[in-house]
Chain A
């Protein structure tokens, strides 16, 4: 068993918490410290008790006696302290729920607040209604904590229907808690007690709320709002219903505006200058067609290179994140990519891409992930029976390297040394990689196609060589299942996320993670590298999307608006936009510059499984487990949303919500017969590849 028995879940959680408080979440930190000062006396005696225990354990009786005498601790006091220490952690955090109130008062208080929301002016109504859900949950928990179980369940039964649909799943989890003892250890509970639910409202709305609380002397409501809510106030007009709904839904409420203020470098890195080698390579590498090709290619290639050579003001400095130097083989690869790119089909509403669909047969319900490699020559699939299969999608077979004694005979100076290294006898169209001992949940190719990463239920990440077809490294760091792993577009770095609510940044040559990104309130389900490798985006079951800075380790963007688990992420080709898809069947498009929601693309009927931008950034493809692929006009999408309108009020610009606009952005929809689509990939020539397992 991979999980060591002495590593208790609490340890990780507290670890994660300190990390998060250091990182960005100042509320959490203050919350914790407040809890500590409250019981400063207890803490004191706790410390003493701990010291005493230590002394007793090591048989230092004399010192222990002296300490006892000096601290004037009585035996019973000590016992108390020890008992206290056992559940001090839970008690401290939960004690805020302690109240002597009459359980029936909650129902009345909730009703009166609801009535107040209903009777308030329409302008304020929607922002005020945001308070209803946290109010409801905290009241329920308070009742449970004070052993009013029967009333609590009645309260739950009566009012849980009122709450928004997207909270129902959480409410179900909350409703599982019917005893004070259950409150410990429930992950959802930990969120509610440790973090503050953020409610964003305008100053006007807030003053209306304050007046209500003072006038009516609503001590219960007031208490909840003061203890557990963070009101993020802004100047300006209160938001309307659509605006409120578009960003509501995350486990921790809405994103605090302050969080998204940091400047981020979303531009692309400058491409290394390899133009010289381009021409050389072409003449050297392809003598057969070298005669005329360079002449043709040159004019085409130049603009491509020039465009990239222009320095982007939003690009991070090249030295910001140390990247591996380009090897010769990488340069060759870049040349190949450029050559392919020059043959690219320009896409648009009038020229839609062709879609080639790879259906996996005879494997109903066993395939857990499918992944294409960057140049579309390889396909990897993870299975629930712990194996990983790699197919070659091109005529070229998958070959393994020759054994060491044969390698020694090869002339290392030869031109085709790389070809000679490989053993033709081992050529196969499909190879199987054995090693994991749990379902393989994700796979990711390195850009040079020599390495493959996979993550599994067995809490490990494995690095495979696609030259020897063996496992090179097992990265053990996560202690719970690893849901997703992804190679950086520049290689060397990779990032992983898992059930332990953290995202981690690794380098292939380190056993330990370089960064641990903690802050999500539930499982982190998906991760994606920014095209410039400086950032990673993560999507979580807490229904939020976060962007982390790989260099500082800080959370630089928090985006809320999904109403279900985030299941797919993809950066736009230019690095400015992020698309996210979720179990709520929505595809949301974010502007990273400000962290704003730009568009909400409806139309799928099941969890979104994969997203892809075409190589020229004009067409956006979404795939879902409902077995359909949809294409969207991304060019018009960004064109129509007013990007330059840097909004002052701090909340979202109007969404492209009007349904006819959204409908006109949808270019096409392609259903499959009975194959949930699991992966999408645009080839360098803008052919769309898709893969899924046949279920019929």
Chain B
């Protein structure tokens, strides 16, 4: 038995005896004496440890502590080794020299003055008692105190191997049916199938579903935040998952047709919340989620006024969702990432594709990782350039197409720069770029050059970004940035948000909410067009001057050429559009309809 062998091998060797003898001043211990000692000490040690485990078991612990050893020594009438209690693991130090190897405990010298003079350690929290229902009339309620009723591993098993679930149900039914005659067998099988499809929702769950779906697409921003929070953290949702996924899929279908941007954004945020729920395994519902999310990326038209509304943000956000789905749920059987990649590639290859869809496919591919970009986008840059050239240069084109084309240009540059910076060796030559990338060559060249020169000067402000991101969902688009603030935003966060917006552009960060930008400030790349749409909430007393009431969600739109550096400041917000009146919309807890997310066009 391996266990026995393990204990058999756990003996102190005679060399240890000699070293220990040396350490207490006995030099030259003879071999036989060391052997005798080793045997005896091994036996004593083992019996002490064996007794110590008794104390461990009675202490209801799974880990032996130094106190247990002390108690074991005490019952053997041996003076305990005081001063060895330590809540943490004490690492052995290793030293070698003179052909000998030693493991020892480091005995640091402590300055008593430091201990006396130092601040007192924080008091541990007091023991407290908390009651919850583990079961109500035999049913375990799905509250956060209870474990999820179906663990993620089990969900995974069931989705990858549906037979396992079938077997379990079959077991139950067969047990009952064995008492019946064998001819009943086909009948029992049909019963099994019915059991599989039946999804019973309790009254509470139905109520929850109603509340959640209403809150998610409803008008109350605070409730919406709560609903998303619940979707992202509640442990007992897996039973409702089919309903929620159908809700999302249906919702996207309807709203894409009707071009309602806001509901689509909310639905995507629902997907985001479900994705971030640790207890859910969405693989079984990808057939509904993936088409829905992809629709929000590549649909020809997502809003009523494509030239005004910022549907780009939605496309970007959805593309990140699809990337996350691929990352989390790609398996060799569903081939999720492969299929998604193929879909986007086909879209890029299609010349008749509207520019908006073209953008969606491009951003989708770009989110799937550097390898995908290298394999599928780089070879196509020339084609992309040719595709958008007429819209950007030509004067007689529709405004919408021009915007789309410039978005595509921005995106390509943004995606390509970090890669080109690494793959291509300086010096960069404009002609080389032009030759390789066609129309986009010079722009890329400029961006890469700037990136190279600025890598050293730009400073990261990821901390600020994270604070902005934690409380809010940011949708970033090629030219504008939308920051949707949570209801709990305070004056300070809003200040952070504004500076975050300023810095976001210069920081290729990994945060999910803020896209990595080309490492140039926004002003530098597109000084005349970049705009920031900012939705701040509860911005505090500073804003009283400008019509807003405090503690209500507000939506501020600013032309970001003059980024508002300090919303929380006493100074009135300066808003200067290049043309027209600066538009400030303030609505306290109202529906964000599409017109609220408009962008000032210049």
Contacts and interface: CB of A to CB of B under 8 A. Distances in A.
The bracket for how many chain B residues form the interface is: 35 or more
B570 interface: no
Contact of A358 (B5, B71, B129): B129
Contacts, number: 155
Given A483-B58, A673-B145, 18 more contacts: A156-B4, A175-B4, A178-B42, A351-B138, A356-B132, A356-B134, A357-B145, A359-B130, A359-B145, A362-B126, A365-B59, A367-B127, A438-B71, A480-B75, A668-B135, A670-B140, A671-B146, A672-B147
B203 interface: no
A384 interface: yes
7 contacts: A157-B5, A176-B46, A179-B40, A354-B138, A357-B134, A365-B61, A499-B54
A673 B126 CA distance: 21
B58 A629 contact: no
Interface in B50-96: 50, 54-55, 57-63, 65, 67, 71, 74-75, 77
A256 interface: no
Contacts of A160: 1, 4
Given A1-B74, A179-B43, A351 B128 contact: no
A399 B453 CA distance: 75
Contact of B74 (A3, A5, A379): A3
B134 A355 contact: yes
A358 B47 contact: no
B7 interface: yes
A46 interface: no
B133 interface: yes
A220 interface: no
B4 A161 contact: yes
Contacts of B50: 173, 176
Task: Specify the main secondary structure of chain A where it touches its partner.
Answer: mixed
B68 to A, nearest CB: 9
B63 to A, nearest CB: 7
B134 A672 contact: yes
B134 A541 contact: no
A563 B39 CA distance: 30
A335 to B, nearest CB: 28
B402 to A, nearest CB: 56
Contact of A354 (B65, B71, B124, B136): B136
B60 A676 contact: yes
A176 B67 contact: no
A359 B1 contact: no
A528 B208 CA distance: 47
Contacts of B187: none
A387 B350 CA distance: 76
A607 interface: yes
A171 B128 contact: no
Interface string A345-384: 0000001111111111111011111000000000101011
Given A1-B74, A357-B132, A672-B147, A362 B7 contact: no
Contacts of B74: 1, 3
B131 interface: yes
B114 interface: no
Contacts of A358: 129-131
Nearest to B65: A365
Contacts of A430: 129
Given A173-B50, A480-B75, A499-B75, A357 B3 contact: no
Contacts of A660: 175
A352 B47 contact: no
A171 B5 CA distance: 12
Interface string A267-303: 0000000000000000000000000000000000000
B137 interface: yes
A565 B43 contact: no
A28 B304 CA distance: 97
Given A5-B77, A362-B124, A481-B71, A352 B57 contact: no
B175 A168 contact: no
B54 A523 contact: yes
A186 B47 contact: yes
